[in-house]
Structure 1
Amino acid sequence: MLSTGALRKWSFVHKWTSLISTIFLLMLCLTGLPLIFEHEIEHFLTDGVQHTSAEAGLPLANMDQVIAAAKAEAPDKSVMFVGDITDDGFWYVNMADTVAGGGPRKTVTVDYYTGQVLDPSAQRSPFMAFMLRLHTDLFLGLPGKLFLGLMAFLLLAAIVSGVVLYAPFMRRLRFGEVRRDRATRLKWLDLHNLLGIVTLVWIGTVGATGMITTWADLIVGAWRADQMAEMVAPYAGQPPVTQPGSLEQAVQAAQQLEPNMQLGFVAYPGSGLSSPHHYAVFMRGTEPLTSRLLKPVLVDARTLQVTDNRPLPWYMTGLLISEPLHFGDYGGLPMKVLWAVLDIITIILLGSGLYLWLARRRKAPGRTIEAWEASA
């Protein structure tokens, strides 16, 4: 049994971690709701992008043909990445003024099988792009990501403190009881506590995975300074490759090394996820639970021979698992629906918490822990 002093401290933690983060968490829940159904919404907005499917029985287009088609759309741009890790059914070719990402960027979508450029509607719509940027970094880049990561940490602190306070609050009530015959504020307090304890695991999971994804730039940077640096160390002092060899041959070399995996994406030599001397071919699993897990295979961009490959470290694996789990993108539409329902419940939870704080300030600004205990 917690003492009155301990209850007071935990109540202070719960109140202020919740209040500081509530507005931002409400924004994240509201923007996250359409992002859960991003593929379905994009399909509705574009009326479905017409691209060749596997049922056509055609072989995959040569990757050199894919790049040539994309380059024809933007001949003054340099290719940074090409791939499709979300099973959209076509290749995304990301380009910029320089391979390192300088200047305005352009994305071209190319059919898996025909190697033909698809209609620009295959790309993310302006609405979904706005929602994603607002949800991930508030249009502030890395500082915005780290700020939202702090809000996620405060959410986790609010969850822990809420669990600590729940037991003494419920000692005179049945589990999940909502006192409908009492004052409005007490009914909302009971509902707030019920929703919080029922969604505890989900909110903790989404909060933790969201916090991890805000550290993505830092985690990838640590991987580059650690494992990537070891993998490319033999090339230290050599001039960078300016005319890389056949992308198709590089992909085939990686595929021969990992025959039970499929291509996720390729980072060009000099891009942010490769070295100046290699194609970094990121292979991925073929099952729903492994399709987001990547394994880098470094292919010499001149000789087109594999020079190194190794599994990603635990912290990169944690990052790769976190993003699809955060958006419920593992179990198909049923899991997305579940995620959406829980998201809406969380919006009610956050809104009720804000209401309770405002109502308490209006009615009893000086209310003590002892009085709070008595009301329970």
Structure 2
Amino acid sequence: MTPQRLRTWVWIHKWSSLVCTAFMLLLCLTGLPLIFSHEIHHLLGGEIETPNIAHQGPNASMDDLLGAAQSLYPKLVPQYMFRDEDEPLQWTVRLGATPTDQTQLQNVVLDARTAQVLGQPPANEGFLYVMFKLHVDLFAGLPGMLFLGLMGLLLVLAIISGIVLYAPFMRKLAFGEIRHTRGEKLKRLDIHNFIGIVTLSWALVVGLTGVINTWSELLVKYWQFDQMTQMVAPYKHLPPPTQFASLQQSLQVAERTEPAMQLGFIAFPGTPYTSEHHYGIFMRGDTPLTKRLFKPVLVDAQTAQLTDSRDLPWYLVALLVSQPLHFGDYGGMALKWIWAVLDVLTIVVLWTGLKLWWKKRHQYVPDVSTRIALSEAY
């Protein structure tokens, strides 16, 4: 590699790292508790216990569950109905002032067997909510998500340029060698390089999947414009329904349409995942991979007749697959601890890189050799 090309890579690594470092530190720090969100939620007393009762006969119908939630908040409309994989006997109904409202949300947790109200956990408050919003959009909505996506792309660029620079810079050192006796600066530089190269695969995966996640709202909007528009085309000029068919009957239609799948969640008319005229009943598989891949079944909310059912397009499949890779929540507690350790190591890489730049910023660097060019990155 020529000195000029090397200096170009040095410049790319230096400035892509510096621009994104503060935000990447924030994302690593907020991402750490999110890895253990379920466990933290339990420690904070946020879990709702399922009553240990003897129950015979069928579970409550979806209409009974929905009715129990709406009876508590008659002025609100249902938005979604879902359940936690770890709590199969609980259903949560989320309600808001309008189908798209995000400011007056209410969650109602119900016993799937009896439709008894078990609790009403807050929707937009608490420690984990603050961590999640900082991690996802900096409390700035879509602009915040896109900004963090740009920072993620800079992180990927910093990692790639770091890989390019690693070989020529470390060619005279054994892999993993830390020069403890050559001063604090070289020791910090070696730690930065070693941990960076060890964690680069994980950092690339998390960085790229994080960028994909920041595009989630845009991808969903494109899906609405593209496939959803085609699926509901016959309803384009019809007024929204004022009377609604049985939710339980609509679910049975979806189950007959996709008999090899199980219910994932329900989107009510007017929400972003369906139309004003349909229950969006999202079915999923039961394997570790397919349970994260949904297939929408649109059922007419007034007649309970099937309208359409299509596989999700590739870009939404990529989004759904990227989410567990990003948060490390698909392999149990062991994988969570691995993700946490790698997260902490990434914080060390970012912090040591920042300190190296801070110590170097006022020093004069002669512009005469490849070795000097390499040192400018740090």
For normalisation by structure 2, the TM-score amounts to 0.93
Moved more, 340-349 or 244-253: 244-253
CA 1:140–1:124: 2 relative to 1, 3 Å? closer
1:288-325, Cα deviation, whole Å (9 max, x unpaired): 22221110001111221212101100000111111222
CA apart distance, 1:232: 0.7
Deviation digits for residues 157-190 of structure 1, max 9, x if unmatched?
0011000001111111122221122111111111
In structure 2, do the counterparts of structure 1 residues 334 and 56 end up closer, same or farther at CA, with 3 Å as the change threshold?
farther
User: Does the 8 Å contact 2:108/2:121 carry over to 1?
Assistant: no
Match of 2:312 in 1: 312
Q: Which residue of 1 aligns with 2:92?
A: 92
Q: By how many angstroms is 1:253 displaced?
A: 1.1
Q: Cα 1:47–1:272, aligned 2, differ >3 Å: closer, same or farther?
A: closer
In 1, distance between residues paired with 2:44 and 2:308? 42
Partner of 1:147: 147
Which amino acid in structure 1 is aligned with residue 28 of structure 2? C
1:207 aligns with 2:228: no
* 1-structure distance, mates of 2:262, 2:298: 15
Counterparts of 1:294 and 1:220 in 2: how far apart (Å)? 13
Q: 2:169, 2:222 → 1: CA distance?
A: 44
- Quote the offset at 1:29 in angstroms: 0.3
The answer for unaligned runs of 5 or more in structure 1 is none
Amino acid corresponding to residue 230 of structure 1 in structure 2: Q
Answer yes or no: is the 8 Å Cα contact 1:79–1:268 preserved in 2.
Answer: yes
For 1:274, the aligned partner's letter is T
Corresponding residue for residue 30 of structure 2: 31
1:120-131 alignment runs, 5 A limit: 120-121=120-121, 126-131=126-131
- Structure 2 SS opposite 1:191: helix
Aligned to 2:169: 169
Deviates more, 1:230-239 or 1:16-25: 230-239
Distance 1:272 1:43 in 2: 30
Q: Summarize the Cα distance change of 1:104–1:47 in structure 2 as closer, same or farther, 3 Å threshold.
A: closer
Q: Which residue of 2 aligns with 1:289?
A: 289
After superposing the two structures, state which structure 1 stretch, 168-177 or 338-347, moved more. 168-177
Aligned partner letter, 1:11: V
Seen in structure 2, the aligned counterparts of structure 1 residues 165 and 86 have a Cα distance that, compared at 3 Å, is: farther
In the alignment, the residues of structure 2 paired with residue 183 and residue 54 of structure 1 have an alpha-carbon distance, to the nearest angstrom, of 67
SS class of match (1:118): strand
Q: After the TM superposition, which residues 1-376 of structure 1 pair with which residues of structure 2 at under 5 Å, given as runs? A: 2-46=1-45, 48-52=47-51, 59-84=58-83, 86-89=85-88, 90-101=90-101, 104-121=104-121, 126-362=126-362, 364-368=363-367, 370-372=370-372
Q: Deviation of residue 70 (structure 1)?
A: 0.8
> 1:279, 1:298 within 8 Å by CA — same for their partners in 2?
yes
Check conservation: 1:267, 1:279, Cα contact below 8 A: yes
CA distances 1:75-101 after superposition (whole Å, capped 9, x unpaired)? 110111111365444222111112233
Counterparts in 2 of 1:41 and 1:15: CA distance versus 1, 3 Å: same
Instruction: Measure how far apart 1:107 and its partner are.
Output: 1.8
CA positional deviation for 1:230? 0.9
Q: Decide which moves more: 232-241 or 339-348.
A: 232-241
Letter aligned with residue 73 of structure 2 = A
The structural deviation recorded for 1:146 is 0.5
Report deviation, 1:58: 6.6
Query: Could you say what secondary structure the match of 2:167 adopts?
Result: helix
* Contact 2:79 2:271 survives alignment (8 Å): yes
SS class of match (1:172): coil
Residue 98 to residue 121, structure 1, CA distance change in 2 (3 Å): closer
Residue type of the alignment partner of 2:227: Q
| Equivalent-residue separation in structure 2 for 1:53 and 1:191 (angstroms) | 53
Inter-partner Cα distance in structure 2 for 1:285 and 1:142: 30
Matched residues, percent identical? 49
Q: Distance in 1 between matches of 2:13 and 2:321?
A: 29
SS in 2 for 1:174: coil
Counterpart Cα distance in 1 of 2:191 and 2:73: 56
Measured in 2, the distance between the counterparts of 1:73 and 1:92 equals 13
Contact 2:262 2:283 (C-alpha < 8 Å) held by counterparts: yes
Q: Give the Å deviation of 1:372.
A: 3.3
**Considering only aligned residues, what root-mean-square deviation do their CA atoms show, in Å?**
2.2
- The answer to whether the Cα contact below 8 Å between 2:96 and 2:102 also exists between their aligned partners in 1 is yes
- Which residues of structure 2 form unaligned runs of 5+? none
TM-score normalised according to structure 1 size: 0.94
Determine if contact 1:299/1:306 at 8 Å carries over to the other structure: yes
Structure 1 range deviating more: 49-58 or 231-240 = 49-58
Aligned-partner Cα distance in 1 for 2:85–2:21: 31
Deviations 1:81-134 (A, max 9, x none): 111365444222111112233762222222232222222348686110111011
The CA distance in 2 between the partners of 1:293 and 1:274, in whole Å, is 17
Taking the aligned partners of 1:374 and 1:322, their CA distance within structure 2 comes to: 34
User: For the Cα contact (< 8 Å) 1:109–1:122, is it kept in 2?
Assistant: no
Aligned residues of 2:192 and 2:349 also touching (Cα < 8 A): yes
